[in-house]
Amino acid sequence: MCRMVSLTPGVNTTYGVFSSYFLQNDYYGGTQLDYSWVGGLSAAIAVFQGPFANWMVRRFGFKMPLYVGALCVGLGQCMAGVATSFAGFIICQGVLFGVGMGFILVPSQPLIAHWFDRRLSLAQGIGQAGSGVGALVFSNTTPLLLHSLGVKWTYIINGCICFALLFPAVFLLKGRHKAVQARSAPLEFKWFWHPGYRWLLMWAFLTMMGYFITIYTLASYCTDALGLSQKQGGAVQSILAAGQIVGRPLWGYLLDRGGRVNMVIISYIIAGVTTLTIWMLGRSFSVMALYGFIAGATNGTIHSASTPLSASVVGLPDLASALAMYWLTLGVPNLVGQPFGIMLVDYSRSKLGKTGPAAYTISIGFCGGLYLAAALMLLGAKRYLQGDWKVFKRA
């Protein structure tokens, strides 16, 4: 599981390094907003496949969509390298890679819950730390490859690595669908108005809007607004990945110890406050490195917490069916999160006449506000689970 996550969201995280390189070198002639739509498209397509992936699991077993996903991830990366136009790049990086990422993530996410109960959050956190491992490795190798071999061979090498590592990981993966009586209903809209789960869906929507603004904008902020080098921007992205490696298992442990809902609320309060203070006021590499680590450790807690929280609210047999609606909910914020953040930057520049770091102030403020609002949404889920509004009660 850890390896699979490292080669899907982990690789996708490094798109921030690619987009920063494209902008500095006018590679496809696109704008910052153009490139942001590509990153959002791949993430949106991945989660919109939730119902279809569940249908494939019911029809062919859980490994078939995983093998298809491994093929599409590798092909998407390799073909993005040989794309000669921006339209072709969108199809390869945005669509094909996104399809592969969805077929990997959706069927695999409930599997850890088949094997763990009392330490589910910790196990999920360790598995999701693979995203940080992949991002850390690829965030360091990608800038080096870009400067020595260019975009074409960087993408091809990344794609070949995905091919070589994903297929063995899928082969070794095991589930316990019959033992836990797991259902994989493609579409059950009842979860949208479930009295407890609807709060989780609103939390997820707001969280992912902020998450994509952070991971895709941070490197560009360092190079574009602060004038740092491409190497320094990649270093901040690497530090963010290191924060994911440390933070996701740590928060998983804390979720099991202090209550799943309680700890996630604390995590996103920290994410929101540090975004509104450290990032908004950051003007140097050292400050941005500090923020990158904190952001990596906190704003991606959703990836460790979504499955345990869902299991707490809906129960293990209905987990896969509820998660299908969870993935659908993430489609819109995944698609528009980063572009909306960039639109706010463009508005600050064109309408308000802001330049440098000041042009990013509204976007950063919006991002921090999303994290804090997401934390508030979880109070509704807490109320559902414990039956009252006692803030300090374990839930």
Residue 395: inside a domain: no
Q: How far apart are the C-alpha atoms of 29 and 175, rounded to whole Å?
A: 46
- What is the residue-wise DSSP string for 368-390? HHHHHHHHHHHHHHHHHHHSS--
Q: Write the DSSP string, 123-146.
A: HHHHHHHHHHHHHHHHHHHHHHHH
In a domain, 393, yes or no: no
9-56: per-residue pLDDT in tens? 778 777 877 887 887 787 888 887 888 888 888 888 988 887 788 788
pLDDT exceeds 60 at position 3: no
| pLDDT above 80 (res 358) | yes
Mean pLDDT value of segment 341-364: 93
| Of residues 108, 110, 106, the one with CA closest to residue 98 | 106
Specify if 321 maps to a domain: yes
Question: Domain holding 72: CATH number?
Answer: 1.20.1250.20
Identity of the residue numbered 101: M
- CA torsion 231→293→156→338, rounded to 10°? -100
Domain presence at residue 176:
no
Number of domains in the chain: 1
What digits encode the pLDDT tens for the residues 283-329?
A: 999 999 999 999 999 998 888 888 889 988 988 788 878 888 888 89
Name the most confidently modeled range: 32-36, 112-116, 123-127, 196-200: 196-200
Domain membership of residue 179 (yes or no) is no
Report the first-to-last Cα separation within the chain, whole angstroms.
Answer: 27
Q: Which two tokens stand for residue 142?
A: 């990608």
Q: Do the domain assignments include residue 181?
A: no
Instruction: Label residue 263 by pLDDT band (50, 70, 90).
Output: very high
pLDDT of residue 321: 81
| pLDDT, averaged across the chain | 86
Q: What is the pLDDT of residue 156?
A: 94
Question: What domain range is 276 assigned to?
Answer: 2-171+187-386
Does any domain span residue 182?
no
Is 141 inside any structural domain?
yes
Specify the DSSP class assigned to residue 110.
Answer: T
pTM metric for this prediction: 0.85
Residue 222: closest CA among 238, 206, 207:
238
